[in-house]
Structure 1
Amino acid sequence: MADLVVEGGFPVAGTMRPSGNKNAVLPMLCATLLTDDEVTLENVPDISDIDKLVAYFESKGSKVHRDRAAHRLTIRHDFAGFAAREAELPLGMRAAVLLLAPAMIRTGRLDFDTEAKGCALGVREIDPHLEILQAFGCRILSSHPCAMEAPDVYRGARIWPDYASVTATETFIMMASVASGTSVLNNAASEPHVQALCEMLVTMGARIEGIGTSKLTITGVGRLSGTKATVPDDHHEVATFLAIAAVTGGRLRVESQVGHHMELILRQFGKLGLAFDVEEDAITTAGWSRRVTEPFTAELLPKIEAAPWPYFPADLLPQAIGVAVGCQGDIMFWNKVYEGALGWSAELLKFGARVHLSDPHRLIVFGGNTLRPAVVEAPYIIRVVVALLVAAIQVPGISRIKNADPIRRAYPDFVEKLTALGARVHWE
């Protein structure tokens, strides 16, 4: 594992374009299995999970052409060839669950490891995915490892899950798009990356109603065609670079078309004193007052809550915490998605920040800290590495973030982009 060395106190400024959304491209790439026609994806980020998926597809006989310089990937699957090979799923990536529906549709039988790992955000249930497959008629033959068998005909299903899971919603979308009849999902996830999958499938001939809402109604079609689709920019990367630039005092312009997804995100960062100029196709940092916005109800502690979309995203809560250590006021952060995802906050003490972990979901950051450079240990959580960098880069002096490799899974050319904008950051 490599360390990230950060020399803080230098402004991050200029103009940049973000990469394609990792959480959008992975389900979009998996959904190419739903057609035997050619599919081309534009704005494809250069991340390791895509390498693993492409290797998996090629091992099944799929034809893949990838132009990394142009961020373009073209793929065509061999229906007969894919079905004739072993049906196991790739290990070492949580995105493997996104293959459950399309691989089952391709092969009729599936074997997979229920212990696939991604990042250290606690236990993530696979049950919602299996329940969705069962609702469409699939049968579980064994567990640990799990073996599943497809029905003779996939029939539409009505499902109301316990909670709005992004990947389970995407599993439902892919199953329902090719099942006979009409399927309905109440309590559907509606994140921008879920919307991107829906929009791609619509261009392939799927009939989907309710895109962007918590209720999806999908009428299955007999066949999906090929398409050309563009992966949306990563709104998480947009917000991350804006936060990094703002705490360094730099003026950064991020050019992107995802501004319509950023209103609540920018407002929550605004609670930490960050200011932005918003245009139709760009967002620019406009200063950092360091003042935490106090609520009108004086007895309440200011807070930022992360929950499923359209709440503030849990994947941006660590970055907001990294900003908060440099603020003058106190504020609470509440992660309503993952249990135990704030345990890393003890590393902030090494910077001189004062924080209190109230329980597995809530953290209080106290303001008015005198920060200092530090050597910190990053857990295997992508966004936490960035959070520690946000804290380090605002402190003059040299800090080291140990075991920072997870950042490569979601932020292509992260260090190169930062150094091009004036940051002093490098790998060791």
Structure 2
Amino acid sequence: MANLVVEGGYPVSGTVRPSGNKNAVLPMLCATLLSEDEVTLENVPDISDIDKLLAYFESKGSRFHRDRAAQTLTIQHDFQAFITNEAELPFGIRAAVLLLAPAMVRSGNLHFDTEAKGCALGVREIDPHLEILQRFGCRMTARHPCHMEAVGPVTAAKIWADYASVTATETFIMMASVAEGVSVLNNAASEPHVQALCEMLVAMGAKIDGIGTSRLTVTGVERLCGTTARVPDDHHEVATFLAIGGVTGGRLRVESGIGEHMELILRQFSKLGLEFEVEPDAITVTGWTRKITEPFTTELLPKIEAAPWPYFPADLLPQAIGVAVGCEGDIMFWNKVYEGALGWTGELLKFGARVHLSDPHRLVVFGNNQLRPAVVEAPYIIRVVVALLVAAVQVKGVTRIQNADPLRRAYPHFVEKLTALGAKVHWE
């Protein structure tokens, strides 16, 4: 594990372009397995999970060409190579759960270890994915390790999900796109990356109604064709750059055309005193008052709530907390998605911040802190590394973030981009 050394107190200013969305490119790449034609992805971020998925595809006879400089990836699969009794899935990464549907469609027979790894955000269920496969006509013949097989053709299903799971929704979409009949999912996730997968599949010939809503209706087709699809910019990275620019006293312009997905995100960061200018193709952070926006109901504590889209994203709550430690007022943060995901906030005490973890979901950050540089340790959570970085860049002096490697999983070349903008950050 590498450490990140941050010398805070320097303004981060200029113009930057964000990377492609990690949470979009991974399901889009897995969905290419639904077609035997060539598929090209554009704006592909340089992250390690893509390398692992490509290694798996290559082991199955797939051919691909990746141009890292141009951020493009063209891939074509060999369907015959997937018709095998050895369809072992590479569950060394959490994203491999997204292979369940397309690999089942191709092979009709799956073996995999259910102990999927990924960020340390508590227990993440695989049950919704397995239930979806079963509802589409697959059956489980062994549990640990899991073995599933298709029983006849994939047929349509109508499902009302327990909760709006992003990856389970994506599993449903991939199965339903090639199933016989009309499938419906109620309580579907609608995040921008889910929408990107839907739009790619529609370009491949899928029939999907309700994109961007909580009810998806999918009419299965016999064959999906190739296409060229663009991975959307990462709204998490856009917000992170804006937060860093703001807390350092910089003026940072982020060039991206995803403004339609940023309205609520910017409004929540505005509660923390960050100020923005919004253009059709860019967002600029122009200042930071440090003042928490007080509610009209004076008896209530200001708060930012994170929940499934179209709420404020849970993956941006840590960055907002990183901003809040430098504010003048008190504010509560409420993570309605993950239980125990705020346990890392004890590291903020080392900066001199005053925080109180009320329960596994809610945190209060008190204002008017006298912050100081620190040596902090990041858990294996991508966004928490970024949160500690947001706190560190606003503090004069040298901070060391230990075990910061998860940053590379979702923020390609992030340190290099920040350095070019004036930040004093380097790997150790």
TM-score, length-scaled by structure 2: 1.00
Residue 206 of structure 2 corresponds to residue 206 of structure 1:
yes
Aligned to 2:358: 358
Q: Tell me the amino acid that sits aligned with residue 391 of structure 1.
A: A
AA of the residue aligned to 2:160: W
Matches within 5 A, 1:290-301: 290-301=290-301
1:275–1:314: structure 2 CA closer, same or farther, 3 Å change rule?
A: same
Asked if 1:405 corresponds to 2:399, the answer is no
Residue identity opposite 1:223 in structure 2: R
State the secondary structure of the residue aligned to 2:358: strand
For 2:397, the aligned partner's letter is G
Using the TM superposition, give the Cα deviation of residue 224 of structure 1 relative to its aligned residue in structure 2, in angstroms.
0.3
2:233 partner SS: coil
Instruction: Look up the equivalent residue of 1:228 and give its one-letter code.
Output: T
Q: Distance in 2 between matches of 1:151 and 1:40?
A: 32
1:306 partnered with 2:309 = no
1:140 match: 140
Map 1:41-52 onto structure 2 (within 5 A): 41-52=41-52
Rounded Cα–Cα distance in structure 2 between residues aligned with 1:95 and 1:284: 32
Deviations 1:146-165 (A, max 9, x none): 00001211111000011000
Q: Where does 1:208-223 land on structure 2 (aligned, <5 Å)?
A: 208-223=208-223
Residue 236 of structure 1 corresponds to which residue in structure 2? Answer: 236
Q: Separation in 2 of the partners of 1:35 and 1:151?
A: 21
Q: Give the percent of matched residue pairs that are identical in Structure 1 and Structure 2.
A: 82
Q: What residue in structure 2 maps to residue 173 of structure 1?
A: 173
SS in 1 for 2:372: coil
After TM superposition, give the deviation of residue 91 of structure 1 in Å. Answer: 2.6
What does residue 278 of structure 1 align with?
A: 278
CA contact (8 A) 1:156 1:179 kept: yes
1:16-55 Cα shifts (integer Å, max 9, x gaps): 1000000000000000000000000000000000000000
Match of 1:252 in 2: 252
| Distance across 2 between alignment mates of 1:91 and 1:165 | 19
Match of 2:394 in 1: 394
**d(CA) in 1 for partners of 2:144, 2:69:** 41
Provide the rounded CA distance (Å) in 1 between the counterparts of 2:85 and 2:19: 34
For 1:304 and 1:8, the matched residues in 2 are separated by 26
User: Partner of 1:5 in structure 2?
Assistant: 5
Please name the residue that 2:414 is paired with: 414
Q: Which amino acid aligns with 2:386?
A: V
Aligned pairs (5 A) from 1:106-185 = 106-185=106-185
Measured after TM superposition, the shift of residue 286 of structure 1 is: 1.2
**Contact between 1:342 and 1:360, CA under 8 Å: does it hold in 2?**
yes
Q: Is contact 1:62-1:82 (8 Å) kept?
A: no
Alpha-carbon distance, 1:312 to partner: 0.1
Alignment of 1:90-105 (within 5 A): 90-105=90-105
Structure 2 residue runs without a partner (length 5+): none
- Superposed structure 1 runs of 4+ greater than 6 Å apart: none
Structure 1 window deviating more from structure 2 (382-391 vs 147-156): it is 147-156
User: Which whole-Å deviations, capped at 9, do the CAs of 1:157-199 have from their partners, x for residues lacking one?
Assistant: 0000110000000000000000000000000000000000000
CA distance in 2, matches of 1:240, 1:43: 19
- 8 Å contact kept, 2:91–2:97: no
Q: Tell me the equivalent position of 1:323.
A: 323
Aligned partner letter, 2:70: A
AA aligned to 2:283 is I
Shift of 1:241: 0.4
> Quick one: distance in 1 between partners of 2:15 and 2:128?
42
Kept after mapping to 1: 8 A contact 2:376/2:400: yes
Aligned residues, how many? 428
In the TM superposition, what are the counterparts of 1:181-192 in structure 2 within 5 Å? Answer: 181-192=181-192
The alpha carbon displacement at 1:82 in A equals: 2.4
What whole-Å deviation, never above 9, does each CA across 1:345-364 have from its counterpart, x for those lacking one? 00000000000000000000
Report the alpha carbon displacement of residue 84 of structure 1 after superposing the two structures with TM: 3.4
Shift in Å at residue 116 of structure 1? 1.2
1:83 deviation in Å?
1.9
Distance in 1 between the 2:89 and 2:293 partners?
48
> Which aligned pairs between 1:62-77 and structure 2 lie closer than 5 A?
62-77=62-77
Q: Is the 8 A contact 2:65 2:75 kept in 1?
A: yes
Contact 1:2 1:405 in 2 (8 A): yes
* Aligned 8 A contact 2:208 2:217 in 1: yes
Distance in 2 (CA, whole Å) between partners of 1:231 and 1:61 is 24
Identify unmatched segments of 5+ residues in structure 1. Answer: none
Match of 2:338 in 1: 338
CA deviation after TM superposition for structure 1 residue 85, in Å: 6.7
Structure 1 residue 86: Cα displacement: 2.1
The one-letter amino acid of 2:127's match is: D
* Counterpart secondary structure, 2:320: helix
Shift of 1:92: 1.7
Q: Secondary structure at the match of 2:129?
A: helix
Q: Is the 8 A contact 1:34 1:102 kept in 2?
A: yes
CA contact (8 A) 2:319 2:383 kept: yes
Q: Which residue does the alignment assign to 1:375?
A: 375
Tell me the TM-score normalised to structure 1 length.
1.00
**Hey, what does 2:424 align to over in structure 1?**
424
